[in-house]
Amino acid sequence: MDRRSLLATLAAGAGAALAGCGHPSVVLDLKAATADDVADEVSMTADPDSEKHDLVTSALENGSATRRGRHELFDRTDTVRVDGAFYEVTETRVASSEVTVYEVLVDFNPEETTPEQGEISFADLPETDRKRLEPIVSEADPPQQDGYDVGVKYGSAAEVGNDSVFVPERQYDVLVHEGERYRVAVESRTASEVEYRYEATEVAPDVETFADRVRDRYLFVLSGLSDAEREVVEESIDGAYFEDDEAFRSVVETIREHEGIREDDFYGTWLLEYEGSEYLAYVEW
């Protein structure tokens, strides 16, 4: 968990613990803003071996790229860092169709362990099945209830490929793992699959250039503070500020007068300069 997520969790916990005393959950956290930090707030990085990376590079080389899927790939941001440069990516729905998707169900405590179709050892499963099922069969204390205990989403037959012994046609109904015998079933349903078209345009050749673009839009100077307000800000730089007092509310009101990088009903992130240094300010109020 990163510092900001931890602070949000701590703030929520403090608010719950002090709810009887009328103390709501608040936090002000100022983190020194490097160029990489600034860029990361408004973009995502496509790892070299990821589908996102392949799509962006293909769109750059060919003018556009296409993909079929049941969800958007760039839903958090349309600015993507690929090999050090930054690109604006458009994701356009072109067409949609219906596709059958599969889910493999596992019963960890079956009443009957005699196979009807056959049994297979986990070690003998094809890689595509081991990869999907390993996280659940390796649990120290797997869920156990009446009927099937957990379902593993496999996706469509095209996504799974030809190697699975469960999808689309189940070949075994008992799975043996470390001496334990589990019953396996397969369910299918119809889902909507969309064809997307992707186009990419470079917006900055490197992180410094991109960070400057972000600063031009969002950066403001936090100044003219009272002594009490300065104490709030300086404590939030050293760690974080959790007190819902008048000075905190005043600082937050000043920050919220400016456009935030990300704003919601009760929290947000701003880029500010204080005493000559730049900070990313995370606020809950």
As averages over each run of 10 residues, the pLDDT of the chain (285 residues) reads 49 42 74 97 96 97 95 91 97 96 96 95 97 93 89 94 95 96 97 96 98 98 98 95 96 98 96 98 97
| Global pTM exceeds 0.85 | no
- Residue 128's region, left for phi above 0, alpha for psi from -120 to 50, else beta, is alpha
Residue 21, pLDDT score: 42
Distances (CA, A) of 236 to 239, 251, 273: 5, 11, 14
- Crossing angle of helices 227-238 and 246-256, in 10° steps, is 80
**Cβ atoms within 10 A of the Cβ of 214, count?**
20
Residue 140, pLDDT score: 83
Residue 145, pLDDT score: 85
Within the chain, residue ranges assigned H as helices are 3-17, 35-42, 51-62, 127-137, 157-160, 207-218, 227-238, 246-256
CA angle 7, 8, 11 (to 5 degrees): 80
